[in-house]
Amino acid sequence: MTQTGKMPPPKSPGFEANLRTIPIDAILPVKQLPVTVPKSQKYGQIAASIREVGLIEPPVVARAAGQDGSFILLDGHVRLHVLKEMGETTVTCLVATDDESFTYNKRISRLATIQEHKMILRAVERGVSEARIAAALNVNIAVIRQKRTLLNGICPEAAELLKARHCPINSFRSLRKMKPLRQIQAAELMIAANNYTVPYVEAILAASDAADLVDPAAKKPPAGVTPEQAERMKAEMANLQKNIKLIEGTLGPDHLRLVVAGRYVERLLQNDRLARYLDKNHSEILGEFRQIVAGLAQPASTTEARRIETE
């Protein structure tokens, strides 16, 4: 509801209700793909996926103004190129009601490593062969097997912490060498540092006590690290772990206070007289207030999987 007490007018739909099958020759791209794109790994994955399982996500087009029967391609240049290479003459499209070339891929939530593992497990349970999954993703079958067994030796609590994180497969190899409690601590350290790289996890492994490892006898000193450096690294890891616990204790109350303060600022800016005064006399403060309000309005990122594509 607006400040005048009236309901805002309903928003018009952004797309036509039904999908439409369109001749490929009637679709006008808004950009030309670089000559290197068809040679890229991403292009190969998309082409393999379309060959194996068909077109999952239809391209987005808009009707070309003043050109009856023609359409402007807004999203799906790689998919359309693949279909042309395959000899297809028509494609099923989603028709947008305007011709704004909105950057759709900025809203992609990439498939996290553990989510990909669960997707592969579900496909195998439903009877899809590893060979077909590998063909659809354009990877070696050994990679599919590695992803299928990703969580072998990983405790459920650590897996839960990392389920929405883009953690390299080889990072789990180091985690498997740790006992469950240390795996959880390692996952917390990775999240706190926002670092999921293999070298970082190997550093956590190197800083772990022998009692925290599955096979203490197999522990080897990291190459190029002196015993003194290893001890210092262990102390720093322990200190970081302590700081994480302290932050966890105050995170809830701090977040609540920030939300309340942000909503108060939002209500202040709804006062037209106050907004005009700030704009005239304290524009820098008004800018900061608007950034706070904009931060409150941003939706949390989802972890839903969308097809791997960058165009």
pLDDT in tens, 85-117: 999 999 999 998 876 655 555 555 567 888 888
| Distance separating alpha carbons of residues 1 and 21, to the nearest angstrom | 39
Query: What is the mean pLDDT of the segment spanning 267-283?
Result: 87
Q: Is residue 305 over pLDDT 60?
A: no
110: which strand partners? none
Q: Is residue 142 over pLDDT 60?
A: yes
Q: When comparing pLDDT for 18 and 138, which is higher?
A: 18
Residue 304, C-beta contacts closer than 8 angstroms, at least 6 positions apart: 109
Enter the tokens of residue 164. Answer: 């929405």
Do the beta carbons of residue 121 and residue 49 sit within 8 Å? no
pLDDT in tens, 223-252: 666 667 766 776 777 677 677 667 766 767
- Determine how many CB atoms are found less than 10 A away from the CB of residue 108: 14
Q: Is residue 295 over pLDDT 80?
A: no
**Quick one: pLDDT at residue 138?**
76
Share of the chain above pLDDT 70, in %: 80
**Quick one: pLDDT at residue 67?**
81
Enter the tokens of residue 16. Answer: 């036509």
| Distance separating alpha carbons of residues 115 and 302, to the nearest angstrom | 12
Specify the pairing of strand 90-96 against strand 71-75.
unpaired
**Quick one: pLDDT at residue 116?**
85
In this prediction, residue 304 has a pLDDT band, given cuts at 50, 70 and 90, of very low
Q: Is residue 302 over pLDDT 50?
A: no
Q: Is residue 309 over pLDDT 60?
A: no
Mean pLDDT of the chain: 81
Q: Is the pTM of this model over 0.75?
A: no
- Determine how many CB atoms are found less than 10 A away from the CB of residue 275: 15
Q: Is residue 1 over pLDDT 60?
A: no
**Quick one: pLDDT at residue 230?**
65
Query: Of the segments 2-6, 203-207, 246-250, which one has the largest average pLDDT value?
Result: 203-207
Q: Is residue 299 over pLDDT 70?
A: no
**Quick one: pLDDT at residue 23?**
94
Q: Is residue 271 over pLDDT 50?
A: yes
Specify the pairing of strand 60-63 against strand 90-96.
parallel
**Quick one: pLDDT at residue 6?**
57
